[in-house]
């Protein structure tokens, strides 16, 4: 079993829709949860990070962490064609951890 599971998609939604991206994990030691966006042939860029359980909002993006269920989500409101990318969840156990474990990524396409 992988430490982090993420549905690879592809996921295609119309512009303006609410997008829900999810990951599950098995390591209860994970404390830091991140979402990265990666455009084709580019390096990933950090969208949001959350420590422990709870919600965090940044503009059209909301990250949720449910440690009891080992389940994290990223919601994108009012989705735009420019949001089309691969979204990677990632997590690590400690604040100074040398290792981040990535999900396989979900390919998202927003149709105009």
Partner 1 sequence: GAVVSQHPSWVICKSGTSVKIECRSLDFQATTMFWYRQFPKQSLMLMATSNEGSKATYEQGVEKDKFLINHASLTLSTLTVTSAHPEDSSFYICSARDLGLGKSSYNEQFFGPGTRLTVL
Minimum distance from residue 82 beta carbon to partner 1 (Å): 18
Helix or strand or coil: residue 83?
helix
Minimum distance from residue 64 beta carbon to partner 1 (Å): 17
Residue 96 touching partner 1 (CB under 8 A) = yes
Minimum distance from residue 61 beta carbon to partner 1 (Å): 16
Query: What are φ and ψ of residue 81, in 5° steps?
Result: -55, -30
Distances 13 to 33, 79, 111 between C-alpha atoms, Å: 25, 8, 6
Residue 8 touching partner 1 (CB under 8 A) = yes
Whole-angstrom Cα Rg for the chain: 13
Residue 51 touching partner 1 (CB under 8 A) = yes
Kindly give the residue spans of alpha helices, DSSP state H, lying in the chain.
Answer: none
* Contact set with partner 1 (CB under 8 A): 6, 8, 32, 36, 41-46, 49, 51, 88, 95-96, 98-100, 102-105, 107
């Amino acid at each position: 079993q992988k430490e982090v599971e993420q549905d690879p998609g592809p996921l295609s939604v119309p512009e303006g829709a609410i997008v829900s991206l999810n990951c599950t994990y098995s390591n209860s030691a994970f404390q830091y949860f991140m979402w990265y966006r990666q455009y084709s042939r580019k390096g990933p860029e950090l969208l949001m990070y959350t420590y422990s359980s709870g919600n965090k909002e940044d503009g059209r993006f909301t990250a949720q962490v449910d440690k009891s269920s080992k389940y994290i989500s990223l919601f994108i409101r009012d989705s735009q064609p420019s949001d089309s990318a691969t979204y990677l969840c990632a997590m690590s156990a400690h604040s100074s951890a040398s290792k981040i474990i990535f999900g396989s990524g979900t390919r998202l396409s927003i149709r105009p």
